[in-house]
Structure 1
């Protein structure tokens, strides 16, 4: 199936969910959407949404998110069918050094659709996996080994809204606040090599696709580059004597 057809089907599905919520007065939920699908939704939301909606992925900085369409006024107390699972080695001393791909691959090998799984945050020798609640028992009962490591899966029932990813602070000086210029500082590479990423539709600012190199970032903007990582632009100080800006970036690690 080509990309245009997939996008059209996704938009139709989201429109149907919104219409059902509006007509019948109850909440409907999408699967987890990736950053490209979220950007597509935000681009066409005025054409497809007839109800109210909210995006949530289990914690504030989630990249993969579920859309809830609703018609009531209780958005502040809204619950999503999302569960956070904690995956730990049975014995940390003899566990493999597992990465994001290892955890995701093990879950998908159980026959679970990628759309049912949200972000996976790897910390030390543990992983926090956000997934839809209805598949939680199946994962807990069947995921017992990743590579050569025996693992234990438990529900994480703490306030996952307060989950905070790790950052590394990067500073530098730039001639302007153009997107391509700041990307070169964040990823320590040349502006020319980044032009292809922007033109190749791989760069998102606040979940919206950006295709213009000259796009200017503002303080607090969340930037994601597919295949490279993401960061928060913390802002710039006044220009130096050489007319350059000192910038601060918080890069996810």
Structure 2
């Protein structure tokens, strides 16, 4: 579990300054006050109200730009903008709102950005302590006082002794029911017993009634308590390699023990992801902490990077088993 509570009042000051141009926001003969439309006589020119509103919108835009400064990935930026809008709605309405399941990079950036907002509390939950994919709940610090119940665990059982199924098999079967990926959290494999999955509560009954097979294995889905999840820390193996560059094709081929040409083909086919985002260029540069996923091969984390005397790179590679 992860939680954070935050403060940064400058946006509020900008908002108050904006509305100092016009004490009321008038439209026809009615006044919007905290989202409620109330009768009110028109006594201020509309242009002054519009000027105040535009100033507020500009202040919010500038604040968002400042908060997102340094986030390079465009898709992550768009997700963060939506999460910021949700956080501001939650604060103004004094309610608690929730994201769908987020990938680890978006989750990390979201918690950092939300940490800069005034009076906002943010709680990240994935269903168990080592969860990768998590949902974030946001709300005013006086409203969000406990962890909301926003995740349901399901057990998928079947006779997998003669036909083992991979993470991809379970994922494909679940998505094959028609639900979106961001509604689904982690998938915990259990060997011959099947798997346990985390999902948003609203779709649990749908999965139970719809999903009857994983691969060619007939399955039964049922709800289980989060405390019944069976998980253990991932097993890893670390080793070092010396490479002339930090390109993804160089490090991934070394980490997965496959040829550079095969890795290039996998990239061309869209089967290689860095930090859960598909890469399309062989020359994508990696850094310490990056996670490389290759379909059919597994995952690899980039550890410590040092420069050798000859100008090459000594890289620690951490392979997930």
In structure 2, list runs of 5 or more residues that go unmatched.
Answer: 1-72
Find the partner of 1:59 among 111, 123, 128: 128
Q: Which residue of 1 aligns with 2:172?
A: 105
Q: Which residue of 1 aligns with 2:231?
A: 163
Cα displacement (A) at 1:57? 2.8
The DSSP-based 3-state class of the residue aligned with 2:152 is strand
- Partners of 2:127 and 2:188 in 1: CA distance: 12
The answer to whether the 8 Å contact 1:170/1:186 transfers is no
In structure 1, list runs of 5 or more residues that go unmatched.
Answer: none
The answer to whether the 8 Å contact 1:60/1:161 transfers is no
Report the count of equivalent residues: 237
Cα RMSD, aligned residues only: 4.8
RCO greater where, 1 or 2, for CA within 8 Å and sep 6 or more? 1
2:203 aligned with 1:135: yes
The answer to whether the 8 Å contact 1:81/1:133 transfers is yes
2:92 aligned with 1:18: no
The DSSP-based 3-state class of the residue aligned with 2:148 is coil
- Partners of 1:24 and 1:191 in 2: CA distance: 54
- Partners of 2:240 and 2:298 in 1: CA distance: 18
- Alpha-carbon distance change, 7 to 186 in structure 1, aligned in 2, over 3 angstroms: closer
2:274 aligned with 1:203: yes
Deviation track 1:2-51 (CA, whole Å, cap 9, x = no partner) reads: xx998787455323311111112222111123457x279649947x9663
The answer to whether the 8 Å contact 1:30/1:68 transfers is yes
- Partners of 2:299 and 2:181 in 1: CA distance: 21
Give the alignment's TM-score, normalised by structure 2. Answer: 0.54
Give the alignment's TM-score, normalised by structure 1. Answer: 0.65
- Alpha-carbon distance change, 58 to 230 in structure 1, aligned in 2, over 3 angstroms: farther
The DSSP-based 3-state class of the residue aligned with 1:159 is helix
